[in-house]
């Protein structure tokens, strides 16, 4: 007999050996039908796995997030099987799960989304057949023999340790895989192919280009429909489309991956920077600026040349190799080191909105989200060891205050030491403890990402949540004890001896370009008044009223409001509609009655109209809304 212990502490006895199906069924047949996999001793296993000793078992049902990932992995296999049925000459490589779905890289003839319906039809046949998904383990040599005509699988097998290798089969289809998988293909209730793109084998341009076919799958058709609706909403909010419509920015072949900002885009840019500077002055920061190009010796000293060289643009000046900065930190080290510091000077908080360049592969460039030239709202905080906790909490509170202004929620993740790093074990332990203890005191729940820190120190990643529930990693707080040592930074302590400062690297917007792209999608182009590139448009109803409209324009501009006049010979209805499409928050109709009475007719984007508003009242209300950086345009209290 063997004893099975369940998560609630209950124990049941079974005759050995047994399997997950039998154990789940002992709870109830209904429960067993909802089970996808099981966990034993921290390992996820198929329900068919044998249990031959006393152990603890927990089951994953279709409601568990991990179960969804397992099912999507199985869906990748089903898609691969369908493709091989339709394209017998195709060669499989890998088919992992990714966020919200899966993909499979396949060496095959080029296909397009027009081919998806016939592939999906074949997938549905496989799902309807409820084919059992069976695991078997074979010796490495047997795996080599099985895949003798599959070059990609052979290459993968060659990289595996000697010993047994696991296969998964569903009918005539077999794939190399660790698993686990759902019990049969019928568990995949809703599946859709999403897109196809090119991908090099092992991401190496010297290797063959493959067809990367993406899909998604759910346990419920309603969940698939909900997800597709979400994608449609996200498509409508695409910052590239809205950016073009609102004339905010553009890209040009003469500078790939480097955005050009138009006057409208610069209005938002400057509003973001004005707010950034205001909050940082209040938080005790000074602002600095460091050069764009610094020589190789500095980057060697910082460790970037060794650890980040492939992403850096280099140039030779006066026979000296230099680099365009990919980060602002080393310049900040030089500024700190220019003079002696006392413990009484610390903490020293220095911010820099610095232009940096990083070489990204052309295939990953994506609007403002992934660029080669961008501005980081960096800050470097130099402090004594006993100030670490308070300074990190201070940054977190600044982050919270700033994100709240945009209506953005956030969650926190602590990333620890990566394999490739600089600094001693003691420094890393101390730095990691400094971050975790500050997070504990701050009180917001956080996730730990093992091995995902920066090469010079652990970090807190700040993930914001936008209006439709997407998450974006923007802010980061990195605690660094290595660079102060590399640059021999010091301060004079109360004991009159030299001491090494600790430093924080941190950003809040992250990349201003990327943050702006996120805001465009977060607001769907409908910016709050303080961010709107054009806050007011004045519409004269005929040519005779053009001078009146221009006078209003000058009055608003003098009051610090961004306004424009649409004096085209078009119908008022058309001009109002175009102003609404351009997401201009305040639309003023300049008619004869308004000129005679010295009042304004004000229309807001939500369609509300207020007549007889005095210019003074309007300007006061607009400026109060802007100064408060309100998210809503509730200027008149209605």
Question: Which residues are the active-site residues?
Answer: 329, 358, 376, 378, 380, 459, 505
Q: How crowded is residue 558: how many other Cβ atoms within 10 Å of its Cβ?
A: 9
Q: How crowded is residue 129: how many other Cβ atoms within 10 Å of its Cβ?
A: 13
CB 135 within 8 A of CB 46: yes
CB 38 within 8 A of CB 49: yes
Q: How far apart are CA 472 and CA 411, in angstroms?
A: 10
Coil, strand, or helix at residue 361?
A: coil
Residue 70, Cβ density class (10 Å: 0-12 exposed, 13-18 middle, ≥19 buried)? buried
Answer whether the bond into residue 629 is a cis peptide, omega within 30°.
no
| Nearest alpha carbon to residue 58 among 72, 73, 41 | 41
Q: How far apart are CA 38 and CA 35, in angstroms?
A: 8
Answer whether the bond into residue 286 is a cis peptide, omega within 30°.
no
DSSP 511: B
Beta strands in 450-590 (DSSP E): 459-465, 471-480, 491-492, 498-499, 502-507, 536-540, 563-565, 586-590
Cα atoms found within 13 Å of the Cα of residue 101, Cβ hemisphere only: 19
How do beta strands 502-507 and 373-383 pair? antiparallel
CB 332 within 8 A of CB 350: yes
Helix (H) or strand (E) holding 549: helix 546-558
Q: How far apart are CA 234 and CA 239, in angstroms?
A: 9
The sign of the dihedral angle between the CA atoms of 379, 382, 385, 387 is negative
How do beta strands 293-295 and 320-324 pair? antiparallel
CB 311 within 8 A of CB 326: yes
How many Å separate Cα 69 from the centre of its chain? 20
Report DSSP letters for 188-199, one per residue.
--EEEEEEEEEE
Residues whose CB is less than 8 angstroms from the CB of residue 411 and which lie 6 or more positions away in sequence, other chains included: 444, 445, 446, 447, 462, 463, 465, 471
Long-range contact pairs involving 599-607 (C-beta distance under 8 Å, separation at least 24): 600/552, 603/576, 604/633, 604/635, 605/526, 605/580, 605/633, 606/633
How do beta strands 50-51 and 18-19 pair? antiparallel
Long-range contact pairs involving 18-25 (C-beta distance under 8 Å, separation at least 24): 18/50, 18/51, 19/47, 19/48, 19/49, 19/50, 19/51, 20/45, 20/46, 20/47, 20/48, 20/49, 20/51, 20/57, 20/59, 21/47, 21/48, 21/183, 23/51, 23/57, 24/59
């Amino acid at each position: 007999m063997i004893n099975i212990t369940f998560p609630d502490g209950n124990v049941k006895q079974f005759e050995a050996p047994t399997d997950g199906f039998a154990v789940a069924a002992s709870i109830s047949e209904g429960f067993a039908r909802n089970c996808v996999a099981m966990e034993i001793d921290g390992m996820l296993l198929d329900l068919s796995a044998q249990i031959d000793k006393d152990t603890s078992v927990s089951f994953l049902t279709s409601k568990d997030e991990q179960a969804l990932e397992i099912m999507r992995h199985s869906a990748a296999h089903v898609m691969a099987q369908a493709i091989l049925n339709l394209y017998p000459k195709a060669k499989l490589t890998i088919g992992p799960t990714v966020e919200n779905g899966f993909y499979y890289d396949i060496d095959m003839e080029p296909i397009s989304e027009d081919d998806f319906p016939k592939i999906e039809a074949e997938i549905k046949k496989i799902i309807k057949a409820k084919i059992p998904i069976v695991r078997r383990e074979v010796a490495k040599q047997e795996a080599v023999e099985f895949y003798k005509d599959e070059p990609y699988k052979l290459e993968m097998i060659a990289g595996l340790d000697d010993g047994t290798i696991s296969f998964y089969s569903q009918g005539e289809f077999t794939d190399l895989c660790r698993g686990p998988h759902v019990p049969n293909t019928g568990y995949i209730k809703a599946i859709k192919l999403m897109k196809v793109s090119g991908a090099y084998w092992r991401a190496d341009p010297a290797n063959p280009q493959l067809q990367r076919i993406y899909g998604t799958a759910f346990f419920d058709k309603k969940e698939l429909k909900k997800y597709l609706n979400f994608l449609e909403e996200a498509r409508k909010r695409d910052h590239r489309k809205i950016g073009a419509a609102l004339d905010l920015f553009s890209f040009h072949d003469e500078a790939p991956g480097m955005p050009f900002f138009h006057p409208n885009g610069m209005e938002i840019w400057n509003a973001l920077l004005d707010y950034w500077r205001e909050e940082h002055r209040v938080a005790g920061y000074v602002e600095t600026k460091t050069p764009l190009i610094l020589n190789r010796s500095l980057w060697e000293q910082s460790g970037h040349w060794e650890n980040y060289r492939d992403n850096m643009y280099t140039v030779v000046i006066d026979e000296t190799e230099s680099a365009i900065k990919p980060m602002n930190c080393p310049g900040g080290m030089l500024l700190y080191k220019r003079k002696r510091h006392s413990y009484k000077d610390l903490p020293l908080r220095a911010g820099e909105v610095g232009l940096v360049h990083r070489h990204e592969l052309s295939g990953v460039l994506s609007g403002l989200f992934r660029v080669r030239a961008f501005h980081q709202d960096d800050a470097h905080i130099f402090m004594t060891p006993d100030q670490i906790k308070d300074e990190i909490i201070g940054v977190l509170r600044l982050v919270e205050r700033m994100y709240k202004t945009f209506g953005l929620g956030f969650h926190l993740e602590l990333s620890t030491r990566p394999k490739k790093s600089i600094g001693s074990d003691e420094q890393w332990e101390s730095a990691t403890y400094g971050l975790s203890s500050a997070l504990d005191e701050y009180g917001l729940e956080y996730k730990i990402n093992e091995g995902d820190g920066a090469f010079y120190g652990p970090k807190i990643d700040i993930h914001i949540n936008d209006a439709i529930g997407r998450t974006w990693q923007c802010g980061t707080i990195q605690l660094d004890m290595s660079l102060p040592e590399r640059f021999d930074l010091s301060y004079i302590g109360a004991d009159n001896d030299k001491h090494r400062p600790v430093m924080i690297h941190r950003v809040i917007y992250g990349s201003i370009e990327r943050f702006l792209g996120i805001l465009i999608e977060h607001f769907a182009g409908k910016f709050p008044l303080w961010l709107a590139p054009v806050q007011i448009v004045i519409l004269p109803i005929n040519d005779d009223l053009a001078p009146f409209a221009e006078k209003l324009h000058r009055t608003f501009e003098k009051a610090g409001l961004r306004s424009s006049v649409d004096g085209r010979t078009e119908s008022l209805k058309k001009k109002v509609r175009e102003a609404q499409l351009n997401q201009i928050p305040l639309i003023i109709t300049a008619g004869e009655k308004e000129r005679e009475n010295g009042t304004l007719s004000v229309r807001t984007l939500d369609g509300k109209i207020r007549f007889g508003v005095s210019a003074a009242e309007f300007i006061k209300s607009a400026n109060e809304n802007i100064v408060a950086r309100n998210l809503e345009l509730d200027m008149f209290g209605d």
